[in-house]
Amino acid sequence: MFNKILIANRGEIACRVIKTARRMGIATVAVYSDADREALHVRLADEAIHIGAAPARESYLLADRVIQAAKTTGAQAIHPGYGFLSENANFARDCSAADICFIGPPPTAIEAMGSKSAAKEIMEAASVPVVPGYHGADQDPAIIRAASEEMGYPVLLKATAGGGGKGMRQVGSGDEFEEALASAKRESLASFGDDTMLVEKYLTKPRHVEVQVFCDSLGNAVYLAERDCSVQRRHQKVIEEAPAPGLSTRLREQMGETAIKAALAIDYRGAGTVEFLLDEDSSFYFMEMNTRLQVEHPVTEMVTGQDLVEWQLRVAYGEELPLEQADICINGHAFEARIYAEDPNSDFLPATGTLSFLQPPEESTHLRVDTGVCQGDEVSMYYDPMIAKLIVWDDSRESALHRLALALSTYRISGTVTNLDFLYNLATSAPFVAAQLDTGFIEKHHSLIFHDRPQDLNEELPLAAFALLRYRHAQNKTDADIDRWSPWSSSSAWRLNEPHMHRLTLHCQQQDHAVEIEQQGERFIVSAGGRLTHLSGELEGDTLHVEMDGHRQRGVLACTDDGFTLYLARGACHFHEVPPDTGETDQSDAQAGLTAPMNGTLVALLVEPGAEVDANAALLVMEAMKMEHTIRAPVAGRVEHFHYQVGDLVDGGAELLDFTPAEEA
């Protein structure tokens, strides 16, 4: 077995590969860019080599630097992970030329699957079913059109060099054909430098079912169950599961045996995935083959009990497959949800920011978190904004899905907007629970998925206020350690001959709320929104133990850039305290109040440049972490100039406008 391998990747997959290598007693070398100097994968590896600047094209995509790093450290093999160089046939060749083992398929197999039309040719010859259509070299539009008319509309135009839906156009009738073909060719040429097209009969409600295959260098080949990845958004997988629900044993075997035929047709080696479109009548068609380990491989690992990275290392080293087909069993059901720093309410705009609070659910035999980040890490704009993959397993789909929902509701992330609520809504939606899966799932059930979590202010406001008080109390206790006898360190709000009253204004759910809290020893009576609530409890670290009107619960209080997030079983409540109005504001405060409270998007300018405004007048609105923040005039004065326009991404702390207080004007 290898003594040392280099992982030519970053983030969660690099960490994941390192863990298996370590378990196998193999030393590991990481590579890192300027942006990843302190990254988790660098810290987990036994050694690490700097390979360039933050942009991937100046670091992780530079094959010669990666290979040089392997030579420098004496790594005998390179694991490419996925993405980056993992499907670059020339990189695989360069590794071999440097006498370094590329942990993946032969370059010829990578190239054979690089073109959709070439892949279809190969699969047809291997009696692998492909979607009926035309994929010839003659690109005369009349020929493509004739094939479309013969099949009958709707048809689907696809770029043969394409992937991820780019250069793909659905054509519903003959009179749409010309424009659709021209448009698809333009996009394909722009994206891939090649406008060769193929056309297929359009399947209206297919599922995306992919089969994990493994081939060794001794002629053995097996399939390790299948995964349903139909739930995608713009060809990005969102939630994957294994096995695919509702497949008969016979169909499962047919798809598995067909996938093996596809792999053997290209002399495959290593881990591969054969993607099929599964139609409603259980017919299935080859879509494409991925010649790498997939992001979603953990769901296969959970239901087969196999470590696919270990298989990769053994097969790359020349060993035979660890199991024969008859020994591979499927046990239970697994899901993977991809947790991203992105804003589903802003068309999934990627988000950046510092993960000021990061508390994944506790791992177990039922729950696995594959991640490449820790609390305090920056989600940067240079790379895919994946924070983690959350994987759950149980002995049935229903039980596994319950675990997924609970895990999503207890995954705590502050400092950037995430897709957690979107994933939770999707995983708990009735159609998903009923496994009504097809590639149009998200569009079809949009209203079930894109809604904010219902927030019950009546419950959350008192809890937030109480949490804030206990937080302040804990802070003071720390301060009081310095001078425990000072009356100023007391936070009990004790007043001679008066009730202990705290008065706060909390900004929550885009509104300011006045809250009064009477403290009676260790009991608190909160008055907010015309309601009285009785609470008691304590904040231990960031865990809030609270009893409210007899209901005991636990929450977690996280400090964020702009306030707090109180995580409760039912979800997260974001809030901050509106400072009491002391009446005086010095000029530096005046300008300081006109900076972005955190990374966000400018969504509205509310006054014109040059406008004279009163104190506290609303000037602009920013959106961040799914909340709107209204920036107001600190004092009366004139708005001179805005530094950003609507739609601009703004860094936290950036000055938003030039403002002249009235006294100075």
Q: Which residues are catalytic?
A: 292
Walk across the sheet containing 155-159 and list its strands.
133-134, 197-201, 155-159, 169-171
Residue 115 in contact with ligand MV4, rule: CB under 6 A:
no
Q: Which of 77, 95, 260, 277 binds ligand MV4 (CB under 6 A)?
A: 277
Closer to ligand MV4 by CB, 247 or 277: give it: 277
Neighbours of 406 (CB within 10 A): 16
235 counts as binding ligand MV4 under rule CB under 6 A: yes
Determine if 274 is a binding residue for ligand MV4 (CB under 6 A). no
Q: Is 206 among the residues that bind ligand MV4 (CB under 6 A)?
A: yes
Q: Spell out the alpha helix ranges (H) of 481-616.
A: 587-592
Helix (H) or strand (E) holding 169: strand 169-171
Residue among 71 and 446 whose Cβ is closer to ligand MV4: 446
Contact call for residues 55 and 38 (beta carbons, < 8 A)? no
Choose the stretch contacting ligand MV4; rule: CB under 6 A; options: 176-184, 199-207, 463-471, 582-590.
199-207
Burial 647-663 (b: 16+ CB within 10 A, else e): eebbebeeebbebebee
Residue 290 Cα to chain centre, angstroms: 21
Q: Which tokens belong to 191?
A: 């994206």
**Element of type H or E holding 259:** helix 249-265
Contacting residue, 123, 171, 203, 244, with ligand MV4 by CB under 6 A: 203
DSSP lists the bridge partners of residue 185 as none
CA proximity to 44, closest of 371, 384, 338: 371
Supply the minimum distance, in Å, between the C-beta of residue 466 and ligand MV4: 46
Residue given tokens 């839906």 in the structure block = 165
Give backbone dihedrals phi and psi of 298, rounded to 5 degrees, phi first.
-60, -30
Nearest distance in Å: CB 188, ligand MV4: 13
Per-residue x/- mask for ligand MV4, residues 602 to 621, rule CB under 6 A?
--------------------
Chain mean position to CA 62: 25
Nearer to ligand MV4, 284 or 393 (CB): 284
Point out which span in 56-64, 91-99, 200-208, 297-305 binds ligand MV4 (CB under 6 A). 200-208
287 belongs to the binding site for ligand MV4 (CB under 6 A): yes
Taking the least distance from each CB to ligand MV4, the nearer of 226 and 561 is 226
In the complex, minimum distance from the CB of residue 206 to ligand MV4, in angstroms, rounded to a whole number: 5
DSSP state of 590: H
> Rounded to the nearest whole angstrom, what is the least distance from the CB of residue 208 to ligand MV4 in the complex?
4
Q: Quote the tokens at residue 264.
A: 């053997």
Is 200 a residue that touches ligand MV4 (CB under 6 A)? Answer: yes
d(CA 90, CA 318): 21
Residue type present at position 66? V
User: Is 438 an interacting residue with respect to ligand MV4 (CB under 6 A)?
Assistant: no
Give which of 398, 413, 407, 421 is closest to 336, Cα–Cα: 407
Q: Least CB distance from residue 46 to ligand MV4, whole Å?
A: 38
* Minimum separation from the CB atom of position 164 to ligand MV4 (A): 6
The three-class DSSP label of residue 524 is: strand
Q: Going by C-beta distance under 8 Å and a sequence separation of 6 or more, which residues neighbour residue 176?
A: none
When the beta carbons of 14 and 168 are compared against ligand MV4, the nearer one is 168
- Site for ligand MV4 contains 165 (CB under 6 A): yes
- How far is 337 from 536, CA to CA, in rounded Å? 36
Q: Which is nearer to ligand MV4, 275 or 307 (CB)?
A: 275
- How many residues contact ligand MV4, by CB under 6 A? 15
Tokens of 245: 């629900």
Using CB under 6 A as the binding rule, whether residue 446 contacts ligand MV4 is answered as no
Residue 567 binds ligand MV4, judged by CB under 6 A: no
Distance in Å, CB of 653 to ligand MV4, minimum: 40
Structural contact between residues 425 and 238, judged by C-beta atoms closer than 8 angstroms: no
Paired with 275 in beta bridges are 210, 288
* Part of the chain binding ligand MV4 (CB under 6 A), chosen from 22-30, 196-204, 343-351, 420-428: 196-204
Q: Which stretch binds ligand MV4 (CB under 6 A): 202-210, 328-336, 579-587, 626-634?
A: 202-210
Of 208 and 397, CB closest to ligand MV4:
208
Out of 160, 232, 258, 294, which residue is the one contacting ligand MV4 (CB under 6 A)? Answer: 232
User: Which residue in 187, 174, 190 sits closest to 141, CA to CA?
Assistant: 174
- C-alpha of 189 from chain center: 29
Q: Closer to ligand MV4 at the Cβ: 286 or 357? A: 286
d(CA 234, CA 255): 25
* Interface pick for ligand MV4 out of 65, 120, 135, 208 (rule CB under 6 A): 208
Do residues 427 and 359 touch, judged by C-beta distance below 8 A? no
Q: Any contact of residue 202 with ligand MV4 (CB under 6 A)?
A: yes
Which of positions 140-159 make contact with ligand MV4 (CB under 6 A)? 156
**Judged by CB, which is closer to ligand MV4: 199, or 627?**
199
Question: If binding is defined by CB under 6 A, does position 9 make contact with ligand MV4?
Answer: no
Binding pattern for the stretch 74-93 against ligand MV4, x by CB under 6 A and - elsewhere: --------------------
**Residue 210 binds to ligand MV4 (criterion: CB under 6 A):** no
Residue 625 found at the interface with ligand MV4 (CB under 6 A) = no
Among 42, 77, 110, 131, binds ligand MV4 (CB under 6 A): 131
Q: How many CA atoms within 13 Å lie on the side-chain side of 209?
A: 29
- Stretch of 197-205, 215-223, 411-419, 516-524 contacting ligand MV4, by CB under 6 A: 197-205
Q: Give the three-class secondary structure for 413.
A: strand
Q: Please state, as a whole number, how many other Cβ atoms lie within 10 Å of the Cβ of residue 530.
A: 6
What is the identity of the amino acid at 124? E
What is the binding site for ligand MV4 (CB under 6 A)? 131, 156, 165, 168, 200-203, 206, 208, 232, 235, 277, 287, 439
